Amino acid sequence: MIADVVVIGGGLSGLASALQLSNSGADVILCEQNNQLGGRTYSFVDKTTGEVVNNGQHVLVGAYHNTIKYLELIGTRHLINVQKQFRLHFHHPTLGIHTFELGNLPKPFDVAVAMLKFKLLPINDRRKLLKVGLELNKWKDALTNKLSQLTVAEWLTTLGQSEKSRKYFWYPIVLSVMNEMPERASALLFARSLKQTFLGKKSDASFLIPKVGQTELYLTNAIRILNNNGVKILTGSKVNSLLIDNNKIVGVEGSSKIKSKYVVSAVPHWKLIDLLPQELLQHERFSVLKYFESSPIISVHLWYEKEVSVHTSGRIEFIGLIERNLQWVFNRRRLMGEEGKPSNYISAVISAAYDYINLPKDKIIEIALNELKDIFPRSEQTKLKHALVIKEKRATFSATNRVEPFRPESETAIQNFYLAGDWTNTGLPATIEGAISSGFKCAELIKNAG
Ligand SMILES: Cc1cc2nc3c(=O)[nH]c(=O)nc-3n(C[C@H](O)[C@H](O)[C@H](O)COP(=O)(O)OP(=O)(O)OC[C@H]3O[C@@H](n4cnc5c(N)ncnc54)[C@H](O)[C@@H]3O)c2cc1C
């Protein structure tokens, strides 16, 4: 087979790349080792309930500009609702529910007032939250240098954030944004994510809530467009090696050889190691791959016979839990606008789940049910119809400040060979936005190369 470009990997980074390349007329072959596309972002129909279940609850914000562009390109932008007012609820075991909510003031005053009104913290601690906002607002090169040396926990300590501020406010956010423990997570990536979300345009700080499962949102239409563009999508087609001649890529080899002018690798870091010839793994641009590690996420899906998530605070779509094992709990019925359905579908997430990933699934369900009893007392008396635990051992690369300097650029030491994927140097933690932007970037570089 012959193509202009081979894209290896049919996750969102590979799909974004194939989409942009084929839209501009390139002849593309997309090789995906699995029988389905989507990589770490997909949904499936649960056999017991017949419900569409996401492999993980993916949280999107308005600052995900490339993701929005991707959804516009494939025509599914209308399948997300934009939350009108940025609102985060937190549940504390004894202090109850408190809300961090951005009002209608212009930036950055909306953030400052929201911090001062966050009554879960004593007033002195709330005032100190402002220090973080001030630091981000006056971001200069010196701050980038400072942050690149620090973990999130260290950075927040330098800004005088009390233990309560860290545990009751910052850490639930850090775990969700970074999928890493605050004591390991890169301060630079976390601070940049905060700045992009809260100090950009007003619409950047809004949650984008999909009305459909991930496969329908990201994949179904993309596949249709790729087919229309003439892209050969080869699923169940693992690439085993790169064909390199005189330091120039000339194709890939799997079950057969595919010759091409350009190759985009859109596979995770640990898969790239398998693809590269031994001598190139010694090259300084690729030897850094050994520093990358992965961080796990556990999702728990629970179906109760009837509504359990009623709370005095009214309609809660999702809530952060403080001093619990579960970190964020989502009322899927409310998120999906399916409140009329008879059963209640709750999902819960444990990010950076190092301490939980090897527990038996029954034990994880037991932990979840116990904690939900305290938050939604009705759940204790309500029959549980079905429970499902999804463990993603390698959910994301571990976004530590140690690995951040080693994230590779799209262009590589091999001519016409490009790297995409959430782990490459996107400037973001491992996110859908990073994956899609890296795929777009490779497509742009290839288009410009001629
Ligand atoms: C449970 C969970 C929750 C998450 N939550 C969020 C969130 O809330 N917000 C957010 O923005 N992001 C979230 N993410 C991260 C997001 O899903 C990823 O950043 C994104 O999907 C990565 O896309 P990718 O294309 O870089 O990699 P992948 O999705 O891993 O795609 C790589 C593809 O390459 C294929 N492949 C590998 N090797 C080969 C080979 N040799 N030949 C052919 N094919 C190969 C793989 O099968 C895979 O399909 C979450 C991830 C998980 C798992």
352 within ligand 1 shell (Cβ under 6 A): no
Q: Is residue 373 part of a domain?
A: yes
Q: Is residue 84 part of a domain?
A: no
271 within ligand 1 shell (Cβ under 6 A): yes
Q: Both 392 and 405 in a single domain?
A: no
Contacts of 257 (CB under 8 A, 6+ apart): 1, 243, 251
Of 434, 446, 414, whose CA–CA distance to 22 is shortest?
A: 446
d(CA 7, CA 440): 12
Which atom of ligand 1 approaches the CA of 433 most closely? 11
Domain coverage including residue 331: 294-397
pTM score above 0.85: yes
Q: Is residue 52 part of a domain?
A: no
Which ranges in 239-328 belong to alpha helices (H)? Answer: 269-275, 278-281, 284-287
Query: One digit per residue, pLDDT tens: the chain, 450 residues?
Result: 888 999 999 999 999 999 999 999 999 999 999 999 999 999 999 999 999 999 998 999 999 999 999 999 999 999 999 988 899 999 999 999 999 999 999 989 999 999 999 999 999 999 999 999 999 998 988 999 999 999 999 999 999 999 999 999 999 999 999 999 999 999 999 999 999 999 999 999 999 999 999 999 999 999 999 999 999 999 999 999 999 999 999 999 999 999 999 999 999 999 999 999 988 888 888 999 999 999 999 999 999 998 887 665 566 889 999 999 999 999 998 888 888 888 899 999 999 999 999 999 999 999 999 999 988 888 999 999 999 999 999 999 999 999 999 999 999 999 999 999 999 999 999 999 999 999 999 999 999 997
- Pairing mode, strands 384-397 and 294-304: antiparallel
Contacts of 141 (CB under 8 A, 6+ apart): none
172 within ligand 1 shell (Cβ under 6 A): no
User: 342 alpha carbon to ligand 1 midpoint, in Å?
Assistant: 33
297 within ligand 1 shell (Cβ under 6 A): yes
User: 288 alpha carbon to ligand 1 midpoint, in Å?
Assistant: 20
209 within ligand 1 shell (Cβ under 6 A): no
User: 108 alpha carbon to ligand 1 midpoint, in Å?
Assistant: 33
What is the CATH number for 265? Answer: 3.50.50.60
Which residue from 265, 267, 275, 410 has its CB within 8 A of the most atoms of ligand 1, so it is best to mutate?
267
Q: Is residue 128 part of a domain?
A: yes
Which atom of ligand 1 approaches the CA of 12 most closely? 25
Q: Both 288 and 409 in a single domain?
A: yes
Q: Both 156 and 288 in a single domain?
A: no
Which atom of ligand 1 approaches the CA of 271 most closely? 38
Q: Which two tokens stand for residue 183?
A: 């004591």
Q: Is residue 410 part of a domain?
A: yes
Which helix (H) or strand (E) segment holds residue 43: the answer is strand 43-45
Final residue belonging to a domain, choices 198, 223, 248: 198
Q: Both 258 and 393 in a single domain?
A: no
Q: Both 388 and 323 in a single domain?
A: yes
Q: Residue of the nearest CA to atom 53 in ligand 1? A: 395
Final residue belonging to a domain, choices 141, 168, 198: 198
Q: Both 270 and 407 in a single domain?
A: yes
Kindly calculate the radius of gyration of the chain based on its CA atoms and give it in whole angstroms: 22
Q: Both 337 and 273 in a single domain?
A: no
User: 368 alpha carbon to ligand 1 midpoint, in Å?
Assistant: 26
What is the CATH number for 161? Answer: 1.10.405
269 within ligand 1 shell (Cβ under 6 A): no
DSSP letters along 204-239, please?
A: GGSEEEESS-HIIIIIHHHHHHHHHTT-EEETT---
User: 11 alpha carbon to ligand 1 midpoint, in Å?
Assistant: 5
Q: Both 287 and 408 in a single domain?
A: yes
Which atom of ligand 1 approaches the CA of 9 most closely? 34
Which residue from 7, 30, 40 has its CB within 8 A of the most atoms of ligand 1, so it is best to mutate?
40
Q: What are the beta bridge partners of residue 396?
A: 295
Q: Both 277 and 417 in a single domain?
A: yes
- Say which DSSP state 106 is in: P
Q: Both 325 and 254 in a single domain?
A: no
Residue 432, phi then psi, degrees to nearest 5: -60, -40
What is the CATH number for 346? Answer: 3.90.660.10
Q: Both 285 and 406 in a single domain?
A: yes
Q: Residue of the nearest CA to atom 26 in ligand 1? A: 421
Q: Is residue 87 part of a domain?
A: no
Q: Is residue 336 part of a domain?
A: yes
Q: Residue of the nearest CA to atom 35 in ligand 1? A: 9
Q: Is residue 254 part of a domain?
A: yes
Q: Both 345 and 364 in a single domain?
A: yes
Final residue belonging to a domain, choices 173, 198, 223: 198
For the chain, what is the domain count?
Answer: 3
